[in-house]
Homo-oligomer: A and B are copies of this chain.
Amino acid sequence: MEEKEISQAVISRLPRYFRYLGELKDGGTERISSQELSEIMKVTASQIRQDFNNFGGFGQQGYGYNVEFLYTEIGKILGLHKKHHLVLIGAGNLGQAIANYMNFEKRGFIINGIFDINKDLIGKRVRDIPVRPMEELESFVKEHNVDIGVLAIPKEAAADVAKRLVKCGIHAIWNFAHMDLNVPKDVLVENVHLSDSLMKLSYNINRCGKPEDHK
Contacts and interface: CB of A to CB of B under 8 A. Distances in A.
A208 B188 CA distance: 9
Given A97-B94, A101-B94, A179-B19, A203 B11 contact: yes
Contacts of A7: none
A142 interface: no
A199 B94 contact: no
A104 to B, nearest CB: 6
Nearest to A206: B79
Contacts of A104: 195, 198
Nearest to A20: B180
Interface residues of A, number: 61
Contact of A78 (B14, B96, B199): B199
A14 B203 contact: yes
Contacts of A178: 19
A177 to B, nearest CB: 11
Contacts of A76: 214
Contact of A93 (B19, B101, B147): B101
Interface in A44-94: 55, 76-80, 82, 84, 92-94
Interface in A172-211: 172, 174, 178-180, 186, 188, 190, 192-209, 211
A15 B196 contact: yes
Contact of A15 (B94, B193, B208): B193
A103 to B, nearest CB: 9
Given A76-B214, A174-B201, A188-B208, 8 more contacts: A12-B196, A15-B196, A77-B206, A78-B199, A78-B202, A93-B100, A109-B198, A172-B204
20 contacts: A1-B212, A11-B204, A14-B199, A14-B203, A15-B196, A16-B180, A19-B196, A55-B214, A77-B206, A78-B199, A79-B214, A80-B199, A80-B202, A84-B205, A92-B97, A93-B101, A107-B195, A148-B201, A148-B205, A171-B209
